[in-house]
């Protein structure tokens, strides 16, 4: 396991004859904070506000879940702000490299609110007694035909008054608007120092890996899963976060 300091994301800076399918391995872990901040507009604002939402909705003696936690951005944001007694945060990710690095970060910065880490597929995890569930840019990596079942299981494991926060890269039925927001996102990445080649190679790597859907598809699925009032609370170009209530 590497203990190196985080590095700048140069994973796609060199021309590759064949761009491999994107995976969350050790190389991605090393650059992950830089990669997500330079690629996802509003990422730091979303984390800040996940902390605020957890402060409001975490119920005493309940669980908060961070599903597809990566290095624990959302877990740390929640842990810093939760005041309710007896809350613990369950952070789950299928990538061993992510979980190993998150464990190292916890060793140096363990918050008062306990965070437990599990390396597992969120499709197989038990969810219960949940007052706050976070899927921060994770559902987009789950096969589309598995998403309903996962959201039903999440909704079934939630307490009355609990919330689900769902952040996703989204697409639009209106092709003209979809082209515009993709172009604005491209500009955002270029302004953050990514070259045209890096942007293009990363897009190829994510093809058929990151599978976006429309806001309407997300809203309908949340309702079908038994959650209520699904609404967007954050959006920037083709990135949005929704909140839904049990
Ligand atoms: C953050 N939420 O910083 N089971 C568990 N984990 C999974 C699965 C699965 N089936 N599929 C993908 N992952 C984080 C950012 S990143 C988003 C989330 C991004 C994990 C995967 O290993 C990765 O760590 C995470 O979902 C997606 O707030 O990189 O765009």
The arithmetic mean of pLDDT across residues 226-237, rounded, is 98
Query: Using only C-alpha atoms, what is the Rg of the chain?
Result: 18
Q: What whole-number distance in Å separates Cα of residue 129 and Cα of residue 157?
A: 6
Q: Whose CA is nearest to atom 9 of ligand 1?
A: 121
pLDDT per residue as tens digits for the range 92-125: 999 999 999 999 999 998 999 999 999 999 999 9
Which residue of 100, 141, 170, 208 sits with most ligand 1 atoms within 8 Å of its CB, as the best mutation to test the pocket? 141
pLDDT per residue as tens digits for the range 172-191: 999 999 999 999 999 999 99
Query: What number of other Cβ atoms are within 10 A of residue 16's Cβ?
Result: 13
Per-residue pLDDT for 71 more than 80? yes
Residue showing tokens 């309903």: 148
Residue showing tokens 């969810």: 127
Task: Provide CB contacts within 8 A for 55, sequence distance 6+.
Answer: 81, 82, 83
Per-residue pLDDT for 9 more than 80? no
> Which pTM was predicted?
0.96
241 in contact with ligand 1, CB cutoff 6 A: no
Q: Which residues of 160-187 are buried (b: 16+ CB within 10 A; e: fewer)?
A: eebbbbbbbbbbbeeeeebeebeeebbe
Atom of ligand 1 nearest to the CA of 134: 2
Q: Whose CA is nearest to atom 17 of ligand 1?
A: 137
Q: Whose CA is nearest to atom 30 of ligand 1?
A: 137
């Amino acid at each position: 396991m590497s203990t190196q300091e985080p590095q700048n994301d140069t994973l796609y800076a060199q021309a590759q004859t064949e761009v491999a399918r994107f995976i969350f391995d050790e190389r991605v872990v090393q650059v992950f904070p830089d990669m997500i901040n330079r690629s996802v507009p509003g990422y730091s604002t979303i984390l800040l506000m996940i902390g605020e939402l957890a402060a409001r909705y975490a119920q005493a003696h309940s669980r908060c879940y961070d599903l597809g936690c990566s290095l624990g951005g959302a877990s740390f944001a929640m842990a810093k702000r939760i005041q309710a007694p007896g809350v613990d945060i369950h952070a789950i990710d299928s990538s061993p490299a992510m979980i190993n690095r998150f464990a190292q970060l916890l060793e140096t910065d363990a918050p008062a609110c306990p965070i437990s880490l599990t390396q597992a597929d969120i499709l197989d995890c038990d969810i219960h007694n949940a007052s706050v569930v976070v899927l921060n840019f994770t559902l987009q990596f789950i096969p589309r035909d598995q998403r309903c079942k996962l959201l039903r299981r999440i909704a079934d494991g939630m307490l009355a008054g609990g919330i689900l926060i769902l952040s996703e890269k989204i697409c639009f039925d209106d092709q003209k608007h979809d082209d515009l927001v993709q172009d604005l996102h491209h500009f955002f990445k270029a302004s953050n120092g990514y070259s045209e080649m890096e942007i293009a190679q990363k897009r190829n790597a994510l093809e058929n890996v990151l599978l976006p859907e429309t806001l309407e598809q997300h809203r309908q699925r949340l309702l079908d899963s038994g959650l209520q009032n699904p609404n967007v609370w954050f959006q920037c170009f083709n990135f949005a976060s929704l909140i839904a209530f049990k």
